[in-house]
Every structure is written in C-alpha cells, then in structure tokens.
Chain A
Amino acid sequence: MPPTTQDKRKTAPRAGSRGRAVPELIFGDLWEYDPAPETADPKLKARYDLFIGGEFTAPKAGAYFDTINPATEQKLADVALAGQADVDAAYRAAQRAFDTTWGRMPGRERAKYLYRVARLLQDRAREFAVAETLNGGKPIKESRDFDVPMAAAHFFYHAGWADKLDYVAPGRKIAPLGVVGQVIPWNFPLLMLAWKLAPALAMGNCVVIKPAETTPITALKLAEIFQQAGLPPGVVNIVTGAGETGAAVMAHPTPVKVAFTGSTEVGKVIMRSLAGTDKKMTMELGGKAANIIFDDAPLDQAVEGVVNGIFFNQGHVCCAGSRLLVHEPVADRVLAKLKNRVRVLRVGDPMDKNTDLGAINSRQQLEKIGELVDSGVKEGAEIFQPPCRLPAKGFFFRPTLFSGVTQSHRIAREEIFGPVLSILTFRTVDEAVEKANNTAYGLSAGVWTDKGSRILKLSTELKAGVIWANTFNKFDPASPFGGYKESGFGREGGRQGLLDYAKLT
C-alpha cells in the first residue's frame, strides 16, 4: 500500500529556506526487480557428524536433529546431537592434543596452520557464503562480502601473533591456558567461530566449541578445512546440539576457561552455574546500542548508517544500533528520510543478490520480535512499516520504525534482536549522553556529527566498549570488541583479546 497524500504531508517537512520538500522515492512494489539469485553450490552433505579428534564421529546415542533453511523452512541436513558422552570425548581429545602436539608446538609452526586455514577458507569463500545464507537466512551479499572474508581475516590476523606472543604481555611470561570451552550464537555462525577459535589457537590452547542449534553447517564445513589443513587431531573439536549440549560444554571439569557469546540472560545462567568453580570466563552478551545523530551531522550519510546499524543481518546483531537518539532540530527530517529509505529496502529471498533483509533466523526468534513489537504499539509508540510483500513461506519480518518512544518503553530497554528501531529525541549533549547510558547494557554506541571534538567528548562519556563515529557496525580483527556493564567482559580481537586466552606468570 503506497503512502497517501496526507501521509506525505506529515512526513516530508520543508527543507531549508528554499522551501524544497525532501524528495520522496516510492519504489515499493511499483518497480519489479529481476531475480538475481546466487547459484554457487554450497556442497552440503546430507548428514553432519560431530568433529572430534580430527574425525567426523557419529554421536554415541545415535541422535540427529534437522537443520533447516529459515527462508523456506525446508530441511537442509541431519546434524548430530551431542550428548554428555560425546562432550567428554571431545574434551579428552582436546586435552590430548594440548598435551602432545599443539601445546608444545613452536609458535611459528602453529602460525602456519592458521594461515593455511585462512587461505583455504578464502579459496572456498563463495561456497561457504552460500551455505551460511542457506542455513542462517542472512542476505547473500552480507555473507559473501562480510561474514566469510572477515572470518578468513580473523584467522590470518591471529596466525601472525602465534610466534610473537612475548610482545603481548610486557613484563610477564606468557603461556596458553590449556583447554577451553566455547559456545557461540546463530547470528554470525562462521564469523563467531573464527572470533573464538583464532585467538585461542594462536595462543596455543585447544578447543571444544558448540555452534548454535539453528546454524551448525558452516562450522562443520570448516572442520573439513581443518582436515585439509592438516591441523593436528583434537586441536579443535566441534559438538553440535541445543542448550543442553551447550551447558555440558560450559560445565565440564576439563576446560580452565570458557567463552560465551549470546544473550545476557543465558550469560548470567552460565555465570551462576560456574560460580563454584575457578574457571576463567569471557562473556560477550547483549546490547541496546544508542546511535546519536546531532543536527550538524551529514544527514543522508547518517540515515544510511542508521539503516545499516539496525537492519544489517535483520538486526540480529548484539551491537545493533537499536535506539536512535535524534537531536530535536533535525528529528522530523531524519524521520522522514528514514521512512523513505526503509520503503525501498528489499525484504525477501536471502539468496537474491539484491536482498537487503533476509530471513529471521528461527520461528522462535520471529515470535519474540513480534511480541516486542506488539508491546511497542501497546505502550503507545508510533509504528511505521513499509508496505513490502513478504514471501509466503519462511520467517520474515518487515523493517520497523518506532517513533515517539520513551525510555520506559520495553522496546527502548530490551534487546529485540530484530529489524526494529526505536527512535527517541534529545535537546542537549548532556541529555544525549544520559539517555544513551541509561541502560544495563554497554556494548556499542554511534555518534553522528561533523565536529571532531564532539566525537571525542562523546566517545569519552558513553559507557560502551565500541564507539563508532560517523559509521556503524564496523569490525576488524585488529580492533578489540566487547562490552561494559551487562554486555559482558573480556575483549575479542586485537592484542587485548589475545590476553584473555593466556596465562601470565
């Protein structure tokens, strides 16, 4: 349904003294795009076993679960369900590898294995991108241009550290911790795997890792690369399953450290369950990032950044810019521009190269997003959703803007983890800082202004681990990532992240 004239008058105020209205581009369903499907073969297997001790191993209890394509709800493969006995076997393999090969290997040799992994992943980048999109629902342009190249970059960057660890902790002797357990989420299945594995392995640790229940495929495809790279058996062990398997990985007595990326809620459960142990922990948890636009910001660029900040990966991003704070003098203009921009976002088949928003990762997540959006409407915020057609099958959600949001609304406080932006306004710098910091989270924040000194003032005062100025959702293996407050602790990436996998003496 295209917007009515009345609608236009309300959302397109006069711009500047020349009285020229902000031009409104109505693509909507008026222009048909030809399909542009990505056709590379993801080379999937019908059945994926556990990867333990360098071999694909059937689960001891013989149980498998279906993994699906969230864009079609069709089954992609059978995936092994790891039980306690499998987790035990994985940890035994990891400990053996640490004691006999990986833990004793000179850093320069470890480095070469990790370089190999990076190169082999680059070789098969398109195949992995297609597999990632099929299993996770994210647009192919994102898995192709971001997830897979960035995953390779993480292995390449950390490979080079393996023989330079003496420079990581000046004044102390540095050593690996031993065996570590890791659990990762479904929003960036391969990239999170790389974030977790690369620093741990570069430091000389061996790993048992559990991919998310809904997105196990690229992890198990990477296991093929570990075999091709000749990585010693047991250095990386991959166990698939749901929450119960994850709990077994975290609670096992073998690992001296556990690392978790996921929701704050589950992070707290893990912290409580490990309270009686002396395990080291890294927690990369949820967020409710503020993206702050000042009146001197280049507004078109800012609107692009806001769209990228919240709609990248359907908003399944822990550091997503889910709270937009707009300076009052430009609030109406920004909202009008945002609505124009959102109207032309293409929602649909993740495998189409023109798609901006793909599928929501699971039915459960779709329901959670719907529930929170309902609460936004009920609590009195004004909703805007473009009139785009959604595919009949699969899990899809319209990009959603909420204006007139107050700080007490649930949509301003709780992590939605979906394509939903809550818009608030502010008058002064101090008010912006206070509103931005008024959250239990502290993972990231964005600032849009033309003034360098203001960027640095805001970056000093915002309580968050990553501050993006005139950009958003940028990542790099050299750039430490991690949160303040209830967004977790520890860093991933950079020299700082390495130290979280090291023992100092």
Chain B
Amino acid sequence: MNRLIVTKTPKVYIGGAFVRSESGRVFPVKDAAGAFFANVPQCTRKDLRNAVEAAAKAGPGWARRTAYNRGQILYRLGEMLESRSSEMAEAIALGAAGRRAALREVVAAVDRLIHYAGWADKYEQVLGSVNPVSSPHFNFTVTEPMGIVGVVAPDAAPLLGLVSLIAPAITSGNTVVALASGTHPYPAVVFGEMLATSDLPGGVVNLLTGFRKELIPTFATHTHLRAITAVADAAERKALRLGGADSVKRVRLVKAEDDTDWFGDAESGLYAIRDLIEFKTTWHPIGA
C-alpha cells in the first residue's frame, strides 16, 4: 500500500514565529497541473500591523549589529537557500515555471544574497564622506537605516523578486514587512523557513501572503513604515504615493508593466541600498 504523504500547512513568518492569519482566512494554491496544493494565509491589515510591530521591536537591535555581523548573517541566509535549493525550486515550479527555470531562479537568489552580504561592511565607505567645510569642524556624513521598510514583491520571479527587494533593505539595518507574490505565494512561505534557520533575528524580515488589493492601502498609510519599495502598476503606485504623503514616506517604485529582468545586474547593488538609507551629517568641533 502506498504511504500517504504528510503535507505541510503553509504559515507566514512574523516576528520569528510561524503563524496563521489572525482572520483565520486562507486562499488555495494550486500546483502546475491545476490540482489543489495547499491553503495559504490571506493576511489582513491587522496582520500587517502586527508585522510592523514585530519589525519595530527587532529594528534597533538589528541596526546596532556590526556591519560584519550583518554580512555574515546574509551570507548564512545564502547558505540556507543553496542547501535547500531543490526544495525551493519545487516551490517555484508550482507556478508556471519549469523545473530548470525554477532552479535558475533559486541560484540567482542565492548569488544576490551573497552579493549583498559583501556590501554590508562596504557601502558606508562608498556612500559616506568626510566633508571639507570652511570652519574648524570635523564634518562627516554617515548613513543610517530608515527604519521599517514595506516591501511589495512582484508576481514575476516570486523568489528572486522578493529577495531583490528585501536584501538591500536589511543589508543596511532596516527591518522589513513584505507582501509576497499574490499569484505564487508559496516560495515566500518556504523562504520564511530559511530565514528562521539563518541566524537572522526574528522580526527583521516578516513575510505576509495575501492579496495586494487588500493590503496595499495599509502599506501606503501605515505611519511607522518609513519607506516602501514595491513593484506596482500605475494605480498601485498612485495609491502608495498618495497614502505615503501623509507621513512623508520614501517611496521606491518599480513599474510592474516594465517587465523587469530580475536576473540582470541592474536590479542589484549599491544604489538599491542607497535608496533605503538616510544620510546624517555631524559637525564635531576641533579644538582644545
């Protein structure tokens, strides 16, 4: 007799714990053949607010970690993804992607994490400065994380897109509340399990699954989100900017209709980090 396999209950990763939506709502995810695969939490704005609270708690500690330590943790996250790449590839292949394409996306996501791991203790040296002012002051500009960053991931490249938006945010010490692809949410669920085993403190990255239409308004208006980095269509971009204006939010948008090549180098690097940091300039007196 064939053994019946034990299926996994997909949960979202919030504050370092795996939870269901507070609403008790789920939506079904199908496999490539169209058969029922699992139920995924349909997160609400209350879940989003809880996630922001978790991110706020984790924020100061994560920002205070040394750059070297943050780099090692990002590297460790890359290790976790590489070592479970076939599992992740299967999760991606649930969507339309073939198995080979899925594997290609996984290794690209690993490489992206390793790329940012290296930036953690370098971007400051490239972006910061000592400024030659015309008075007896040691004047220097350093960078600081913005705080809690809201991420809205694309439907295309459900893993690589998500990782490409999250990684530059956390490299500099931000914490993240991310909404996974609405059409292919399952890779984000698996990614949560990798985050949990990567030494990344709970609450630094919080992943929600659900519907963009339900959650984008709250992403836009939640005043504790200092920045938004999103892949969004024209209506969503307007909603994010409009809601963000009330708290003078920094909004970094990629056009959903642009068919972004997430595998390209343009989607990674220093300037993605730069978009999610603040510059702080200090005038320190020189004298006896």
- A contact set with B: CB distance below 8 Å: 153, 169-172, 264, 267-268, 271-272, 274-276, 278, 283, 285, 440, 452, 455-456, 459, 464-471, 474, 476, 478-482, 484-489, 491, 494-496, 499, 504
B9 interface residue (CB < 8 Å to A): no
Contact A480 B141 (CB under 8 A): yes
Do A469 and B245 have beta carbons less than 8 Å apart?
no
The distance in angstroms between the C-alpha atoms of A464 and B279, with both chains bound, is 9
- Given A468-B283, A496-B141, 11 further pairs, Cβ under 8 A: A268-B245, A268-B248, A271-B244, A272-B242, A275-B245, A276-B238, A471-B137, A476-B134, A479-B141, A481-B281, A487-B248
CB distance from B271 to the nearest CB of A (A): 6
Among candidates B132, B137, B245, B278, residue contacting A484 with C-beta atoms closer than 8 Å: B278
Report which of B132, B226, B246, B285 forms a contact with A478, defined as CB distance below 8 A: B132
Q: Does B247 belong to the interface (CB within 8 Å)?
A: yes
Check if A271 sits within 8 Å of B245, measured CB to CB: yes
Chain B interface mostly helix, strand, loop or mixed? mixed
Looking at the complex, which one of B135, B244, B279 makes contact with A480 (CB distance below 8 Å)? B279
Which positions in B face A, CB cutoff 8 Å?
126-127, 129, 131-135, 137, 139, 141, 226, 234, 237-238, 241-242, 244-248, 250, 253, 255, 269-271, 274, 278-285
Quick one: which of A172, A478, A485, A496 contacts B248, CB cutoff 8 A?
Answer: A485
Contact A465 B241 (CB under 8 A): no
Task: Give the chain A neighbours of B250 by CB distance below 8 A.
Answer: 489
- Can you list 26 residue pairs at the A/B interface with Cβ under 8 Å? A169-B271, A171-B270, A172-B271, A267-B248, A272-B242, A272-B245, A275-B242, A276-B234, A278-B253, A278-B255, A456-B282, A456-B284, A459-B280, A459-B284, A466-B283, A467-B283, A469-B285, A476-B131, A476-B133, A478-B139, A479-B139, A480-B281, A482-B279, A485-B247, A491-B279, A496-B129
Cβ-defined contact, B279 with A479, below 8 A: no
A467 touches B248 (CB 8 A): no
CB distance from A82 to the nearest CB of B (A): 26
Instruction: Determine the chain B residues whose CB is within 8 A of the CB of A496 once the complex forms.
Output: 127, 129, 141, 279
Identify the closest chain B residue to A487 (Cβ): B248
CA A484 to CA B139, docked complex, whole Å: 18
With A and B bound together, what is the CA distance between A162 and B56 in angstroms? 42
Query: In the assembled complex, which residues on chain A have CB atoms less than 8 Å from the CB atom of B283?
Result: 466-469, 471, 474, 479
Q: How many Å from the CB of A285 to the closest CB on chain B? A: 7
With A and B bound together, what is the CA distance between A491 and B135 in angstroms? 21
Name, among B139, B226, B283, the residue most crowded by chain A CB atoms within 10 Å (CB to CB).
B283
Residues of B near A485 (CB, < 8 A) are 226, 247-248
Q: In whole angstroms, what is the CA distance A264 to B210 when docked?
A: 34
Rounded to whole Å, the gap between the CB of B234 and the closest CB of chain A is: 8
Which chain B residue shows the least CB distance to A264? B248
CB atoms of B248 and A170 under 8 A apart: no
Q: Given known contacts A275-B242, A479-B139, is B129 in contact with A467 (CB within 8 Å)?
A: no
* Residue among A170, A275, A474, A488 having the largest count of chain B Cβ atoms under 10 Å: A275
Q: Could you tell me if B241 and A275 are in contact, using CB atoms closer than 8 angstroms?
A: yes
Return A409 CB to nearest CB of chain B, in Å: 22
Contacts of A271 in B (CB 8 A): 241, 244-245, 248
Interface contact A465-B242, CB-CB below 8 Å: no
B283: shortest Cβ distance to chain A, in Å? 5
Contact across chains for A469 and B282 when beta carbons are under 8 A apart: yes
Chain A contacts for B282, CB-based, 8 A? 455-456, 459, 466-467, 469
Contacts A271-B244, A276-B238, A471-B137 given; indicate if A504 touches B131 (C-beta within 8 A).
no
Do B285 and A486 touch across chains, with their CB atoms under 8 A apart? no
Determine how close the nearest CB of chain B comes to the CB of A368; give it in whole angstroms.
Answer: 21
Please measure, in the bound complex, the distance between the C-alpha atom of A440 and the C-alpha atom of B137, giving whole angstroms. Answer: 28
Residues A494 and B131 in contact, CB atoms below 8 Å apart: yes
CB-CB < 8 A to A491: which residues of B? 279
Give bound CA distance, A487 to B284, whole Å.
Answer: 22
What residues of B have a CB within 8 angstroms of the CB of A267 in the complex?
Answer: 248
8 shortest interchain CB distances as A-B pairs: A271-B245, A275-B241, A476-B133, A275-B242, A478-B131, A486-B248, A459-B282, A467-B282
Contacts of A272 in B (CB 8 A): 241-242, 245
- Chain A residues whose C-beta falls within 8 Å of the C-beta of B274 in the assembled complex: 499
- B255 / chain A contacts, CB cutoff of 8 Å: 278
Chain A hits for B139, CB < 8 A: 476, 478-479
A283-B246 Cα distance, complex, nearest whole Å: 13
- What residue of chain A has the Cβ atom nearest to residue B241's Cβ? A275
Q: Which of B137, B242, B279 has the most CB of A within 10 A?
A: B279
**Chain B residue, CB-CB nearest to A149:** B134
Give the distance in Å from the alpha carbon of A495 to the alpha carbon of B280 in the complex: 13
Give min CB distance, A274 to chain B, whole Å: 7
CB-CB nearest in chain A for B63: A460
Closest chain A residue, CB of each to CB of B283: A468
- Asked if B126 contacts A170 (CB within 8 A), the reply is yes
The reply to whether B269 and A478 form a contact with Cβ atoms under 8 Å apart is no
Q: In the bound complex, what is the Cα–Cα distance between A452 and B282 (angstroms)?
A: 12
Q: Which residues of B contact A172 (CB under 8 A)?
A: 271
Shortest CB-to-CB span from A476 to chain B, Å, is 4
Residues of B within 8 A of A470 (CB): 285
Please give me the residue from chain B that is nearest to A476 by CB atom. B133
CA distance A285 to B270 in the complex (A): 27
Given contacts A271-B245, A272-B242, contact A474 B137 (CB under 8 A): yes
Most chain B beta-carbon contacts within 10 A, residue among A170, A469, A476:
A476
User: Given A474-B137, A476-B131, A480-B141, A467 and B126 touching (CB < 8 A)?
Assistant: no
Q: Which residues of A contact B279 (CB under 8 A)?
A: 465, 480, 482, 491, 496
Residues of A within 8 A of B285 (CB): 469-471
Task: List the B side residues contacting A278 at CB < 8 Å.
Answer: 237, 253, 255
Closest to B220 in A: A275
Contact residue among B141, B270, B271, B284 (Cβ-Cβ distance under 8 Å from A469)? B284
Contact of A283 among B248, B253, B269, B270 (CB under 8 A): B248
A339 to B270, CA, bound (A): 50
Bound form: Cα–Cα A283–B245 in Å: 11
- The distance in angstroms between the C-alpha atoms of A253 and B250, with both chains bound, is 22
> Please, which residues of chain B bring their CB within 8 A of the CB of A467?
280-283
A479 touches B280 (CB 8 A): no
The answer for the CA separation of A397 and B218 in the assembled complex, in Å, is: 44
Q: A275-B238, A278-B237, A468-B283 are in contact. Are A480 and B278 (CB under 8 A)?
A: no
With A476-B135, A480-B131, A504-B271 in contact, is A452–B284 under 8 Å at CB?
A: yes
Chain B residues with CB under 8 A of A474: 133, 135, 137, 283
Pick from A169, A283, A481, A486: contact of B247, CB under 8 Å: A486
> For A440, what are the chain B residues with a Cβ–Cβ distance below 8 Å?
247
* Closest CB in chain B relative to A154 CB, distance in Å: 12
- Taking a contact as CB atoms under 8 Å apart, the answer to whether B271 and A268 are in contact is no
A468 partner residues in chain B, CB cutoff 8 A: 283
With a cutoff of 8 Å between Cβ atoms, the chain A residues found around residue B127 in the complex are 496
Q: A283-B248, A486-B247, A489-B250 are in contact. Are A274 and B131 (CB under 8 A)?
A: no
Across-interface contacts of B248 in A (CB, < 8 A): 264, 267-268, 271, 283, 285, 485-489
